[in-house]
Amino acid sequence: MSTARHNLISAPGVETHQVEAVNDATQRKLYKKREQIYPKLVHGKFRFAKWVFMLLALGAYYFIPFLRWDRGASAPDQAVLIDFEGRRFYFFFIEIWPQEIYYVSGLLIIAALALFLVSALFGRVWCGYACPQTVWTDLFIAVERIFEGDRNKRIKLDRAKWSFNKAWRKTGKHAVWLLIAGATGGAWILYFHDAYDTLSHFFTGGSPMSAYLFFGVLTFTTYTLAGTMREQVCTYMCPWPRIQAAMTDRDALNVAYRVDRGEPRGPHKKGESWDGRGDCIDCKACVVACPMGIDIRNGSQLECIQCALCIDACDDIMKKVDRPTGLISYDTDINIDRRQAGLAPVYKFLRPRVLVYAVSLAIAGSIMLFGLTTRASLDVNVTRDRNPNFVTLSDGSVRNGYTLKIINRTHDDLEYTVEIDGPDGLEWRILGQEATRGLTVDVPAERTQDFRLFLTVPRDTITTSNESVVFTVSPQGSDETRTAETVFLSGGPR
Amino acid sequence: MSEKHIDEETGTETTGHEWDGIRELDNPLPRWWLWIFYASIAWSVVYWVLMPAWPAPPGMQGHTTGVVGNSERVNVANDLNALQASRADFFTRLEAADGYGAIESDPALFRFALAAGESTFGNFCSTCHGAGAQGFVGYPNLNDDVWLWGGSFEDIRHTLVVGIRSDHPETRFSQMPAYGADGLLSREEIRHVRDYVLSLSGETGFDAAALDAGGAVFANQCATCHGDNGMGDQSQGAPNLTDAVWLYGSSPEEIENTIWRGPYGVMPAWEGRLNDPTITALATYVYSLGGGEAAAEAEGAAGE
Ligand code: SF4
Ligand code: SF4
């Protein structure tokens, strides 16, 4: 039966596929087993873009841990490092301490806003090109093609009885998948410890248990998610499509079948006129190309990850049948409607939504940049003893205890001058260090150091039960100062 | 049994039960789930062999021991030993340290002593002296600079070792007579000496007319321990009555009551309950609370 239809198609090399979309919403039963999807390899500009993006993404992922960034002798020189033991997060020139976790929030907010912005402009581009699930699945499918051939061959191989040929192809595929998965899990742990050290210790069993654990978990998840689960992750597991749907609107560019041009569809014989019919020759090249197993001609669907492979597939067909390309194309919902109504398409990129996202992104970015460039290298905290709140000494004077915490974020050991401004007659000393007013303390590079201080006020100068005390700390030879304000409690004059 | 019923939509048999027209599909358990279930059973058998699992007669320790020979009791003991070993170095250094100065000048050791001392304090001392060593009525505040038995590092350490009025043979001991309760002084005499004591420390609320009589009682009864001018004597734990700190309260009633009943505070001896370096750490912590006296000052007794 297929041969009969074949003849109807107008150009050499055009093949009609006898398929139903696997994830066709109109056909979908309430209870259905998963049907394997065999995406066919396409060629074209989007496929090329995806190869390039895949190379960049994988390259970045595997290569970044090996980048170095000189921070001086006291800090690690890995450009991107999440150092849990040292409780630091290094990201090129950014260095985040536990107290500054808001920078991480800042980075996440910026990432989210950027995602909102591109979603508003180009729909689900993240899904199609940048999402790790997409990138690794694409890679795994490429490996699958090397071992088992393209769509038809794969289908045949899967239906065939077990033979040596089938066995080695399957084994080879899974072996390479595991290798990639292992490399993925392996590269992950390089972000948490010095990459070169980890690499040399990993294979000799010298890495910490957690490294092997994460290696195992990520190898397993990469293998199952990208190898065996694939489109099910996007369709059933990922919450993002649902969220993203709220970010795009009818003006966003999305992969779309131009119904106005394609319909009525049907086979086309060479030499026949194109008048009175649509450009779609119902070859289903777009359906077999789709890694999500859907038919884009049914309109935009939840499953679609906007990978644009159907565009490449159809453009190829259009060239062969001598029709203009772009039957499936990036387009907006509004324009599809307008075309159907016979109106000229309009592209409105500057919409309130886009502006709001762009402006928010700019604001968040500037705040972050401002915060990072003016980031203090010194932080001072004072906590007052609460138990007891104050101590009466034998001569009637009152003493309060404080813990002064100085954070030295520079890469040098520094000496700090501490000055204390408080009630009249204030005397102070620091535990383990005899001192008078204007004392100095040492804090090593990149350290937080605690000092215990006792402040004493003579009884007769006490006028209120609660007086303010200000600690001023400054590194020697610098005019940067930090102050911390607290109180001196005394129970009031007697 | 109800009749066999096939669900139209799915072609699956139902369990035959029906609730308000709703039927339950009789789907088999998912295979992956079953495999995990079987694997768990198999694993449990392996586990019985490897680990202690079954009760057994007392001759066999009361339970099967398992091939691996795992025992949480032994693990905990090992962990504790390892902990002890990791602290051993600090403990040796604490034991060898000659006084507070030596500990303080070794920052790592000082930090260790403070931490160890603070946690020991929390365990054993805070019940009476409070979590912040702030004390209560009858239980001294260890943050202030008033010490009944001396506040030098060595004195504090010794007090910890022998306790006060404890069952330790060398315990620090002194006793103030219960002047009222034992009928040694009349109520009136007690009021007089109370007013005298109030005047010594610069407190208010005393009757100036009673001072002479009170002074006489004081010279007779109290000066032996508290000194002619009420400055106290650390060698016998007699408080200084002229300072601003009162262990049993500074109001006329409270002082009167103190004289009446003669306080008898007890602190347990820690020797034998805490090891030597731990007591040193504890002393370091208490000394560091800010009220500690310099050793020389304590020796020069006369004091400023
Ligand atoms: S849209 Fe293009 S690829 Fe898809 S069936 Fe029609 S002609 Fe073929
Ligand atoms: S419909 Fe097209 S763009 Fe969407 S997932 Fe399938 S191939 Fe990709």
- Is residue A1 pLDDT above 50, yes or no? no
Residue of B nearest to A388 (CA): B134
Decide which of A126 and B256 is more confident.
Answer: B256
Closest ligand 1 atom to the C-alpha of A257? 1
Q: With bands split at pLDDT 50, 70 and 90, how would you rate the model's confidence at B304?
A: very low
Q: Which of B245, B293, B297 to mutate to test the interface with A (most CBs of A within 10 A)?
A: B245
Closest ligand 2 atom to the C-alpha of A296? 1
Mean pLDDT within B147-173? 93
Residues 75-94 of B with CB under 8 A from A: none
Which ligand is nearest to the Cα of residue A282, counting in written order?
1
Q: Ligand 2 centre from A10 Cα, in Å?
A: 25
Q: Ligand 2 centre from A350 Cα, in Å?
A: 26
Express as a percent the part of chain A with pLDDT over 90.
36
Q: With bands split at pLDDT 50, 70 and 90, how would you rate the model's confidence at A438?
A: low
B176 within 8 A of B247, measured Cβ to Cβ: no
Nearest to A144 by CA among A111, A174, A179: A174
Nearest to B164 by CA among B153, B152, B154, B174: B174
Write out pLDDT tens, residues A2-19: 444 455 667 777 888 888
The strand pair at A328-331 and A427-430 is best described as: unpaired
Instruction: Give the span between the Cα atoms of A363 and B206, in whole angstroms.
Output: 71
Decide which of B38 and A19 is more confident.
Answer: B38
Nearest chain A Cα distance for residue B243, angstroms: 5
Which residue's C-alpha comes closest to atom 6 of ligand 2?
A290
Q: Ligand 2 centre from A160 Cα, in Å?
A: 29
What lies within 8 Å, CB to CB, of B277 at 6+ separation is B90, B91, B92, B94, B95
Nearest chain B Cα distance for residue A394, angstroms: 5
Chain A residues with beta carbon closer than 8 angstroms to that of B104: 432
* pLDDT for res A40: 92
Q: Is B9 on the interface with A (CB under 8 A)?
A: yes
Write out pLDDT tens, residues A232-283: 898 888 888 888 777 777 888 889 899 888 888 888 887 778 888 889 988 8
Q: What count of Cα atoms within 13 Å lies in the side-chain half-sphere of residue A464?
A: 7
Chain B residues with beta carbon closer than 8 angstroms to that of A31: 9-10, 12
Position A247, amino acid: M
Structure-token match 């079954």, residue found? B54
B192 within 8 A of B213, measured Cβ to Cβ: yes
Q: With bands split at pLDDT 50, 70 and 90, how would you rate the model's confidence at A434?
A: low
Other C-beta atoms within 10 Å of B3: how many?
5
Q: Ligand 1 centre from A236 Cα, in Å?
A: 27
Alpha-carbon distance values, A154 to A37, A150, B46, B212 (Å): 10, 6, 41, 116
Q: Is B146 on the interface with A (CB under 8 A)?
A: yes
ipTM confidence: 0.75
Indicate if ligand 2 lies below 6 Å from the C-beta of A304.
yes
Q: With bands split at pLDDT 50, 70 and 90, how would you rate the model's confidence at A355?
A: very high
Instruction: Give the span between the Cα atoms of A439 and A429, in whole angstroms.
Output: 9
Answer yes or no: do B9 and A432 touch at CB < 8 A: no
Position B19, amino acid: W
Interface of A to B at Cβ within 8 Å reads: 29-31, 385-388, 391-396, 399, 401, 431-432, 452, 454, 459
Nearest chain A Cα distance for residue B204, angstroms: 11
Mean pLDDT within A206-227? 91
Mean pLDDT within A52-81? 89
* pLDDT for res A7: 57
What does the mean pLDDT of chain A come to?
Answer: 87
Q: How many residues does chain B have?
A: 304
Mean pLDDT within B187-202? 90
Indicate if ligand 2 lies below 6 Å from the C-beta of A42.
no
* pLDDT for res B179: 94
Chain B residues with beta carbon closer than 8 angstroms to that of A391: 134, 141, 143-144, 290-291
C-alpha distance across the termini of chain A, in Å: 108
Nearest chain B Cα distance for residue A186, angstroms: 28
For A305, counting Cβ atoms within 10 Å of its Cβ (0-12 exposed, 13-18 middle, 19+ buried), the class is: buried
Nearest chain B Cα distance for residue A224, angstroms: 14
Instruction: Give the span between the Cα atoms of A157 and A164, in whole angstroms.
Output: 12
Mean pLDDT within A182-187? 92
Q: What are the two backbone dihedrals, phi and then psi, of residue A329, each rounded to the nearest 5 degrees?
A: -160, 165
Nearest to B236 by CA among B296, B168, B176: B176
Mean pLDDT within A161-190? 93
Other C-beta atoms within 10 Å of A388: how many?
22
Partner residue facing B144 (CB), from A30, A31, A391 = A391
Nearest to A335 by CA among A327, A324, A343, A323: A343
DSSP per-residue string spanning chain B: -PPP-B-TTT-PBEEEEEETTEEEE-PPPPHHHHHHHHHHHHHHHHHHHHS--SB--GGGTTB---TT---HHHHHHHHHHHHHHHHHHHHHHHHH--HHHHHHTSHHHHHHHHHHHHHHIIIIIHHHH-TTS--BTTB--SSSS--SS--SHHHHHHHHHH-BSSSSTT-B------TTTTTSS-HHHHHHHHHHHHHHTT-S---GGGHHHHHHHIIIIIHHHH-TTS--BGGGTBPPSSSS--SS-SSHHHHHHHHHH-----B---BTTB-HHHHHHHHHHHHHTTTPPPHHHHHTTT--
Residue of B nearest to A397 (CA): B244
Which residue's C-alpha comes closest to atom 1 of ligand 1?
A280
Lowest mean pLDDT among A37-46, A82-91, B217-226: A82-91
Answer yes or no: do B10 and A386 touch at CB < 8 A: no
Write out pLDDT tens, residues A376-428: 788 889 999 888 888 888 888 899 999 999 988 888 888 888 888 988 888 88
Ligand 2 pocket test: which of A124, A295, A305 has the largest number of ligand atoms within 8 Å of its C-beta? A305
Nearest to A74 by CA among A92, A86, A89: A86
Q: Ligand 1 centre from A28 Cα, in Å?
A: 21
* pLDDT for res A4: 47
Indicate if ligand 2 lies below 6 Å from the C-beta of A253.
no
Ligand 1 pocket test: which of A43, A274, A280 has the largest number of ligand atoms within 8 Å of its C-beta? A280
Closest ligand 2 atom to the C-alpha of A306? 3
What are the structure tokens assigned to B226, written together?
A: 């508290």
Mean pLDDT within A353-381? 89
Partner residue facing A392 (CB), from B10, B131, B144 = B144
Q: Ligand 2 centre from A310 Cα, in Å?
A: 5
Residue of A nearest to B145 (CA): A393
- Is residue A182 pLDDT above 90, yes or no? yes
Q: Ligand 2 centre from A173 Cα, in Å?
A: 25
Work out the angle at residue B147's Cα, subtended by the Cα atoms of residues B259 and B201, and round it to the nearest 5 degrees: 50
* pLDDT for res B299: 43
Indicate if ligand 2 lies below 6 Å from the C-beta of A294.
yes
* pLDDT for res A478: 79
* pLDDT for res A428: 86
* Range among A101-105, A239-243, B15-19, B173-177 rated most confident: B173-177
Partner residue facing A432 (CB), from B110, B131, B145 = B110
Work out the angle at residue B75's Cα, subtended by the Cα atoms of residues B71 and B80, and round it to the nearest 5 degrees: 150
A347 within 8 A of A332, measured Cβ to Cβ: yes
Q: With bands split at pLDDT 50, 70 and 90, how would you rate the model's confidence at A333?
A: confident
Q: Ligand 1 centre from A282 Cα, in Å?
A: 5
